[in-house]
Amino acid sequence: MNKLLATLIAGLFAAGAFAQAPAAPATPAVVKAEAKADKAVAAAVKSEAKVDAKADVKVEKADAKAAATTTEAHTKAAKAKTKAHAKVAKADAEDKIKAEAKAEKVDAKADAKSDKTVVKADAKAAKVGVSAAADKAVAKTETTAVKAEAKADVKAAAGK
C-alpha cells in the first residue's frame, strides 16, 4: 500500500512539473503548416477510405458472381444426371445395363464440368481479392507518406 501511495505522489509531482514547463510559442508559420498538414492528412485518410470501400465492393461482387456460377454449374450437372437416369428407368431390361453405363459416364462428365466451372469461378474471385488487397495496401502506404510529409513540413516550419 505504501509503494502504491508513493508511486501516486511521485506521479502527481511529475505531472505538475511537466504542466509548468513552458510551451514553445506557436508562430504563424507553424500554425499555417499545421493547418495545411491537417488538411492533407484528412484528404489522404478520406481517399484511403474510399479505395477501401471500392475494393470491398469489388470483392463482394466477385464472391457473389462466383457463388452464382457455382450454383448454376451444380444445377446443370444435376439436370444432366436426372435426364440420364430417367433414360435408365425407361430402358428395356436387356438395354438397362448399357443405359446404366451411359448414365454413369454422363454423371462423371457432368461432375467434371461442374467442378472445372467452380474452380475457375473461385480462382477469378481470388484474383479480385488479391487485387483489392493490393489496392488497399497502396492506399495505406500513400496515406502514411502524406502523414510523414506533413509532420516534416510542420517540423520545418517550427525551425524557421
* pLDDT, tens digit (0-9, with 9 covering 90-100), for 78-103: 999 999 999 888 888 888 899 899 99
State the residue for C-alpha cell 484528404.
Answer: 43
Side chain identity at residue 71, one-letter code: T
| Calpha distance 47→136 (Å, rounded) | 11
| Calpha distance 142→137 (Å, rounded) | 9
How long, in residues, is the chain? 160
**In the chain, what are the helix, strand and coil shares in percent, each to the nearest 5?**
90, 0, 10
Coil, strand or helix at 137: helix
Q: Are 155 and 27 in contact (CB under 8 A)?
A: no
Mean pLDDT of all residues belonging to the chain: 87
As a whole-number percent, the residues of the chain with pLDDT over 90 amount to 65
pLDDT score for 94 = 84
Quick check: 36 pLDDT over 60?
yes
Q: Kindly report the pTM of this predicted structure.
A: 0.68
List the one residue out of 114, 153, 146, 150 whose CA is nearest residue 44: 146
Comparing 158 with 19, which gets the higher pLDDT?
Answer: 158
pLDDT digits (tens, 9 = 90+) for 100-151: 999 999 999 999 999 999 999 999 999 999 999 999 999 999 999 999 999 9
Assign 2 a pLDDT band (cuts: 50, 70, 90).
Answer: low
Q: Are 73 and 89 in contact (CB under 8 A)?
A: no
Q: Where are the domains of the chain?
A: 27-158
pLDDT score for 18 = 47
Side chain identity at residue 54, one-letter code: K
Grid coordinates in use for 3?
509503494
